[in-house]
Chain A
Amino acid sequence: MLNDLIEIFLLGGLQSGMYSLLALGFTLIYGISGVVNLAHGSFYMLGAYMFVTLGAIGFLGAGTMLNAVFVLVLAAIVVGIIASMIYRVTIHPVLGDEVAIMVATVCIALIMQQFVIIFYGVTFPRVAWPEDSILMNTANILGVTIEYSYIAAFVVSLALFGTLMLIITKTKMGKAMRAVSQDVEAAMLMGINTERLYMLTMGLSAMLATFAGILITSSTTKSAGAWMWLQPLALSFAIVILGGLGSIKGSLIGGFILGYAEQTVKTTVPEGGAIVGVVPLIVMVLVLLLRPKGLFGKRVELEE
């Protein structure tokens, strides 16, 4: 019993941090441009595949930790640029029409899935840190076995979350993002080029999804697959609906609630790992029934 509680507390907490990072990008692009990006999970997937593909090139020495970290950042940048361009070509032209945006983003997701199948086949490439890396070792904390990569993923997730908060509150670009999320017309009158800002935001959002994709995959399943975009999409959706669409604070707290809920199921229910995918859906249904605007939902506003 006590062991279970400790396991839920530790593993749930670590997982929660990564979930918050995953949902952050989803809530960011919605809060600023009003786009419900159903391709968010696809950028998560693309990130993992990019990590594999670029990792094979071995810029700073194949198979070294230094190279892996470099490739992590490079993959985020590459996916960010791809996402910006996809946004400009497919979503921006239909901005203002929510239904068209959803259709467009679902199409992007399906196209990317096919793209992955065509280029990589239905294989499951390995997404992990180098074998000899310390991250692949496990630690024993209070009787719970945890891989270092899991802890590292948590720490990096929170660091990235904090970095984004700093960008939004302190930098000129961040202030422009907040202005646009609060009153897009007034923001345009200040001279903000919203088209460029939306492209940047989409790029940033996809970068966060990439980081989440690589960090989560490399510390859990360790393999990518053409269908790996669906589960994170459902998760991000559930988290931001729980936390309130467009709310950054909401994505952090929603991430923790979902993370703990999932871990509780995994630990306490026999064969819990197999049914854990249902948890976000149940949470989503409950929130929509009980408090449709979410915990911190002001709908479009993106608060500090």
Chain B
Amino acid sequence: MLEVQDLTVHYDGAMALNRVNLEVGDGQFVGVVGPNGSGKSTLLRALSGILTEVEPGKKERPSLSGSILFEGKEISKLKAWQITKLGIIHCPERRRPFAEMTTLENLEMGAYLRKDKKDVRKDLERVYELFPILKERANQMSRTLSGGEQQMLAIARALMSKPKLLLIDEPSLGLAPILKETVLKTIKEIWSSGVTILLVEQDVAITLATAQKIYILAHGRMVTHGAKEELMKDRDIREVYLGL
């Protein structure tokens, strides 16, 4: 479904990603782990096209080379909204809800590009089933939501975009352990409903417990990848990168 080849990203002279290769198969659950600053978020931002967008107040514009193929189509030169239209939905780090909009309005924004109004309504019911708390908070400004609720909102909003491939950045960040579990369980549910998932996490345990295939990223390079069992076999990897 997604094939990344030799993806290199330069930020103002510094290299954030160095010839990264990555493959996500149809219906797979793939995880990327790595310490802070290893380039995980940059990777997702490059995939969703947000990295190279022009924005008010954004001075540096990173340069990107290499290729990103989605369903066989080169997307590295596309605008973020075009990539969203293809069905790659990025659920960003720190949740990023629209603070001065209600929960419901946030969810409506998720369905911004969709024309199938009937299905949008069905999907709304579905995310309310998945996250009943959001239904209670429907008319509340999203800035008044707790961290956990905001994370649920971010995931729900992404679901409203009808993703084929869902990119999730650090969903466990700043959440209490019990909430982490809930969020993770939901992501698994979404996956079993047929959405391909690329999860980026600092929390290794979470990723190992869920992903079918795991990539290890360090200093902008892919160190290795494989299934959990394969990675655990290698003592160096286990100790240095997974900390287990």
Residues of chain A touching chain B, judged by Cβ–Cβ distance below 8 Å, are: 33-35, 92, 95-98, 172, 175-176, 178-179, 182-195, 300-301, 303-304
- Kindly state the separation between the CA atoms of A33 and B58 in the bound complex, as whole angstroms: 12
User: Which residue on chain B has the smallest CB distance to residue A178?
Assistant: B101
Other-chain residue from B50, B97, B105 in contact with A185 (beta carbon distance below 8 A): B50
A sample of 10 more A-B contacts (CB under 8 A), given A96-B61, A188-B80, A195-B79, is: A33-B56, A175-B108, A178-B98, A178-B100, A182-B100, A185-B50, A186-B98, A189-B80, A190-B157, A300-B57
Q: Is the interface of B mostly helix, strand, loop or mixed?
A: loop
Other-chain residue from B58, B89, B109 in contact with A187 (beta carbon distance below 8 A): B109
Q: Tell me if B112 and A185 are in contact (CB < 8 A).
A: no
Q: Tell me if A191 and B98 are in contact (CB < 8 A).
A: no
Other-chain residue from B56, B92, B97, B110 in contact with A34 (beta carbon distance below 8 A): B56
Q: How far is the CB of B240 from chain A (nearest CB, A)?
A: 33
Could you say which residues of chain A place their CB within 8 Å of the CB of B57?
34, 96, 98, 300
> How many residues does chain B have at the interface if contact means C-beta atoms less than 8 Å apart?
33
Q: How far is the CB of B152 from chain A (nearest CB, A)?
A: 16
Q: Tell me if B112 and A176 are in contact (CB < 8 A).
A: yes
Other-chain residue from A96, A184, A193 in contact with B59 (beta carbon distance below 8 A): A96
Q: Tell me if A189 and B89 are in contact (CB < 8 A).
A: yes
Q: How far is the CB of B87 from chain A (nearest CB, A)?
A: 10
- Kindly state the separation between the CA atoms of A35 and B55 in the bound complex, as whole angstroms: 11
Could you say which residues of chain B place their CB within 8 Å of the CB of A176?
109, 112
- Given the known interface contacts A182-B100, A186-B98, A189-B90, the answer about A175 and B80 at a Cβ–Cβ threshold of 8 Å is no
Q: How far is the CB of B45 from chain A (nearest CB, A)?
A: 9
A-B contacts at CB below 8 angstroms, number: 90
CB-based closest 4 A-B pairs: A34-B56, A191-B84, A191-B113, A188-B80
Q: Tell me if B92 and A189 are in contact (CB < 8 A).
A: yes
Could you say which residues of chain A place their CB within 8 Å of the CB of B28?
none
Q: Is the interface of A mostly helix, strand, loop or mixed?
A: helix
Could you say which residues of chain B place their CB within 8 Å of the CB of A183?
96, 98-99
- Kindly state the separation between the CA atoms of A268 and B50 in the bound complex, as whole angstroms: 56
Most B CB contacts (10 A, CB to CB) among A183, A185, A189, A193 go to A189
Q: Supply 10 A–B pairs (Cβ within 8 Å), ascending by A.
A: A34-B56, A95-B56, A97-B59, A175-B101, A179-B98, A185-B92, A188-B79, A189-B89, A190-B112, A194-B81
Q: Tell me if A192 and B112 are in contact (CB < 8 A).
A: yes
User: Which residue on chain A has the smallest CB distance to residue B59?
Assistant: A96
Q: Tell me if A190 and B100 are in contact (CB < 8 A).
A: no
Other-chain residue from B54, B58, B61, B84 in contact with A189 (beta carbon distance below 8 A): B84
Q: Tell me if B96 and A185 are in contact (CB < 8 A).
A: yes
- Kindly state the separation between the CA atoms of A190 and B100 in the bound complex, as whole angstroms: 16
The reply on B129 being an interface residue by CB < 8 A is no
- Kindly state the separation between the CA atoms of A31 and B131 in the bound complex, as whole angstroms: 32
Could you say which residues of chain A place their CB within 8 Å of the CB of B105?
175
Q: Tell me if B101 and A182 are in contact (CB < 8 A).
A: yes
Could you say which residues of chain A place their CB within 8 Å of the CB of B99?
182-183
